[in-house]
Amino acid sequence: MNRYGLDGKTIVVTGGAGGIGVECAKLLAAGGAHVHLVDPRADALATAAEAAGGNVTTHVSELDSPDACATAFDSAGKSPFGLVHLAGVFEDDPFEPETQDVWDRAIQVNLKSAYDMAVAYEGRRTRGSSGRMVFTASIAAGRGSPDATAYSCAKAGLHGLVRSLAKKMSPDVLVNAVAPGIIVTRMTTELIARRGNSVTDGTALGRLGEPEEVAHLIAFLCSAGASYINGQIIGVDGGTVLR
């Protein structure tokens, strides 16, 4: 059954070879969309596309400049309906004078690339038609992460980007973000191992999240069913903010 009603719509998914990206590709493709996965890892992209099935294409890119972001959209070959921006990096922040590179990477990968992708999307979408943009925020933006200050700042900046774009691009394009807690993916493997049981103890549900649990919300936000949701940062954290 076509659950999300996305027949013929092109959706670009960055970070497409990651755990959440693969699950998004599966759901969006099953909903009828042409899914264009973007990621810097060619081998992982090929595996992700195979796992997703359906109408899935790929593009290898670091998304490290406005031109690279524009090329990512152009490589899809069609005017985009949607952008799902999952690309990001999470690093411990030593918070020392000689480790400014951590800050630079956090801002570039988690925030600037989001802005650049939004600009590229706006320049390539079909005017007058509806569209969707979904970004990846984090509960760290509101709660703060003592070991990842730069990451928390970058994600907080993303909140401002989403709310600004939601006003700027209305009524045609709806702009929202998901804010995951700790989801079991490659990115969080080291963090989960280091924190042990304290990771699950911090959630009301007493367990970690799975990639598909985030992907279902993203797919819904791309669908017609989300037609009155705009400018929202929606938590997917198992009730972490309640603890």
Active site members = 151
Least Cα distance to 108 among 65, 59, 152 occurs for: 65
What is the token pair recorded at 78? 């069609």
Q: Is the dihedral of CA 196, 85, 212, 35 positive or negative?
A: negative
* Bridge partner residues of 70 (DSSP): none
| Residue 166: φ, ψ to 5° | -60, -35
Least Cα distance to 91 among 5, 134, 150 occurs for: 150
Residue with tokens 């939004």: 118
Report d(CA 45, CA 67) in Å as an integer: 21
What is the token pair recorded at 112? 């600037």
What is the token pair recorded at 190? 């080291």
Helices (H), the chain: 19-30, 42-52, 66-74, 100-107, 113-124, 140-143, 149-168, 189-195, 198-201, 211-222
Measured torsion, CA atoms of residues 208, 35, 42, 72, in degrees rounded to the nearest 10: -110
Report d(CA 55, CA 223) in Å as an integer: 17
